[in-house]
Structure 1
């Protein structure tokens, strides 16, 4: 199956919080794309003396012969060392990881380039997690590997985490961040069991997959698993696409006590993604026209649009969460710096709130509910789900 929709679009381009950041990225990708003249032109005069074009080329060829082909950036760290600013790109190559450090002087010229072996990015437990309060158990949700974090004290509360779009692991790993792991450990530190599992599209290559096969059927299996563990109150916590379909699941299964929706789209996804692409400023009018035709039902069912067949998009419309709000108590959370599911969706939900629905907008948080600026680059900076978000979820579940 072609890799698709929101989770892939976010890394299709870069927006920059500063001109220095843009220069560092341009230099990095000049190396990756073997545009050595571009890298040379971005360099300071001293750097040009030490690294002429042929030497840059030779160094990069040595790197790729040793580490293999560059695959992706897994982490970005920015260090201030006045008058310098250092950008450390932890990068995944075919054979192993490598730190590529690019130093800029105060004029915005490249003044240093260093390479060093990098370990795999290790998860750091957030300060709000109390590891002695729970245990973690390997489980299976149908045929999908998962983990159940179980509080050591008896509890009646349990939460199922539902992924956003695209192939996702159980931690919803994006760059160095693992937002589902943060949430699972935080809630279980507060006497709430949490079930998370690998998403089906991490394994299943099927161009004809539907949202039921992608998400819904597995959530129903997860509910049954928690019932077998005798949890009395089961909550669904969905992120992005997972939040979009969670209210529907609550209408077809009577075991759901409440919903937590993180950045749920209120509009059809073709509208959400069109706005996202416009924000990223890296798309052709042809793609936007294709999304408009999709919106007007003019695309044949089996034609691909952004990696998914048109019939997948058409089917998604029937699960719009606004149709299903109100059956159970619901907490809806948005980040003000979310460029993927935006204030447009937040305002639509505000207009459709029911008596048992609460909505909160957090300043300074991204689509991942971590602190960061309104750019895709924020996802590459290591961080954790904000403690304020965790506190609101816990209060909501425990009423």
Structure 2
């Protein structure tokens, strides 16, 4: 598979991003704006919402100057107009919304582009709920700006609406502002150090990583180590989602309890990847095997464990069989153990039914998701096509050929399977049950459930949604940290 260093990840999107909808067994999130030049499709997304949603419409920020004097700005009126414009989009009244666009940008901000752009938003963060704020922010280059924040079922989006002479000349979608990460209370920063490592992964791709190493109590003291493996999505080393960093929580929590941790940027985050030609090994397995070798070569680290989250957990047994001398495996919300097509549909159905009703827009999205799922089942994928933003024919074919249960059962090292009861992406009923059925009775396998934790092993109550991933200072639960640390240190 070909990979090369990613170009400037902060450049603006110049077109509508690839469609997003259902989420699947992994959480994406990056610290930069993701760039794409693709146009909208009906392909559902298979990652949880990232903290940096793409720019969906990149219309000119200024219109052609008028020969007449500009209309005096009425902040309250513009705020009302911006609110009404967003509401028209939410209602599906794209023609009416387009009527409010200035003639000078009517082509760039066409009705179809509005439709496609709004679809991207709802497929990324769920159905629209309401605007929470709308505020006039002054003028830039003669364009009066209103910034509104919309609440959706699974996240927030910030809308920037620009006016000149009462007409809309700019409309952009940006991530809502997010809070900074803070250390969990269970992390003892005096008990470990961190340093940056570079992972020379297969191909022309160099992955940045961080080693979190417990301080030594005595000369020559060794510690067990853990490699963290991501789920789906272009995730950084911290598995960042909004203001939260689950992998950093894990690293600091485990290191505070005497376990070294190596976490690294996923290939699809750090480099450009030809997803149409990629297999599951190209995007996950091979890099994880390299990370195991890298951690094992680190001074003071003796036994090395693999801890995979979500899709990384599904592949953790495969990683363990291909790496040398792995001491144990931790499967965190490992899945989906169902056929991937079934999981995509189930997750989209869950999102559509959260509020007790299924709108026409949600029903249409479900239909699109089912159509994509059927293509995955039949491998009806063109040679250069990427489906559900994961991969092409080779990806789904390699996944189908991988028997996770058989591979895990064949391991002769300790295995810990952990599952959150509030997890709607990898569920206790559909996925964890299959792990139990396949591995129950194996003397080296332990199972543990956390009824109150979600897919990220964060505390969760009520209806399980993606929105809770974005609540500031929502950390991986200490209970999981303690259990994983105990599993590793007892066997390391």
Question: Please, what TM-score do these two structures have when normalized by structure 2?
Answer: 0.60
* Contact preservation (8 Å) 2:426, 2:455: yes
Matched residue, 1:45: none
> CA 1:279 to 1:38, structure 2 compared with 1: closer, same or farther past 3 Å?
closer
Matched residue, 2:323: 253
> What secondary structure does 2:343 align onto?
helix
The CA distance in 2 between the partners of 1:253 and 1:58, in whole Å, is 53
Matched residue, 2:212: 149
Structure 1 residue ranges without an equivalent (≥5): 13-29, 40-55, 78-88, 95-117
From the two aligned structures, give the one with the greater helix fraction.
1
* Contact preservation (8 Å) 1:268, 1:320: no
Of the structure 1 ranges 300-309 and 381-390, higher mean CA displacement relative to structure 2 is found in 300-309
> CA 1:32 to 1:303, structure 2 compared with 1: closer, same or farther past 3 Å?
farther
State the Cα deviation string for residues 278-303 of structure 1 (Å, max 9, x = none).
11123232421331342244445544
* Contact preservation (8 Å) 1:73, 1:91: no
Deviation at 1:205, TM superposition (A): 3.6
Deviation at 1:168, TM superposition (A): 0.3
Could you say what the CA RMSD is over the residues aligned between the two structures, in angstroms? Answer: 3.6
The CA distance in 2 between the partners of 1:67 and 1:237, in whole Å, is 46
Structure 2 residue ranges without an equivalent (≥5): 1-16, 28-44, 50-81, 92-131, 162-175, 201-205, 353-361
> CA 1:292 to 1:134, structure 2 compared with 1: closer, same or farther past 3 Å?
same
Residue number among 396, 416, 423 corresponding to 1:331 in the alignment: 416
> CA 1:367 to 1:194, structure 2 compared with 1: closer, same or farther past 3 Å?
same
The CA distance in 1 between the partners of 2:281 and 2:372, in whole Å, is 25
The CA distance in 2 between the partners of 1:195 and 1:185, in whole Å, is 11
The structure whose Rg is larger is 2
Deviation at 1:93, TM superposition (A): 7.5
Superposition pairs for residues 1-399 of structure 1, below 5 Å?
6=24, 7=27, 8-9=45-46, 31=83, 34-35=86-87, 59-60=135-136, 62=138, 121-142=179-200, 143-153=206-216, 154-202=221-269, 203-207=271-275, 208-230=277-299, 231-265=301-335, 266-281=337-352, 282=362, 283-300=365-382, 302-307=384-389, 308-326=391-409, 327=411, 328-343=413-428, 344-353=430-439, 354-373=442-461, 374-382=464-472, 383-399=474-490
Deviation at 1:71, TM superposition (A): 9.9
The CA distance in 2 between the partners of 1:38 and 1:291, in whole Å, is 26
Deviation at 1:216, TM superposition (A): 1.5
Of the structure 1 ranges 250-259 and 192-201, higher mean CA displacement relative to structure 2 is found in 250-259
Q: What number of residue pairs does the alignment pair up?
A: 333
* Contact preservation (8 Å) 2:146, 2:160: yes
The CA distance in 1 between the partners of 2:371 and 2:447, in whole Å, is 33
The CA distance in 1 between the partners of 2:331 and 2:139, in whole Å, is 44
> What secondary structure does 1:173 align onto?
coil
The CA distance in 1 between the partners of 2:254 and 2:278, in whole Å, is 32
* Contact preservation (8 Å) 1:267, 1:320: no
State the Cα deviation string for residues 340-360 of structure 1 (Å, max 9, x = none).
011211111111122211111
> CA 1:68 to 1:233, structure 2 compared with 1: closer, same or farther past 3 Å?
farther
Question: Please, what TM-score do these two structures have when normalized by structure 1?
Answer: 0.74
> CA 1:91 to 1:73, structure 2 compared with 1: closer, same or farther past 3 Å?
farther
Of the structure 1 ranges 213-222 and 30-39, higher mean CA displacement relative to structure 2 is found in 30-39
* Contact preservation (8 Å) 2:420, 2:455: yes
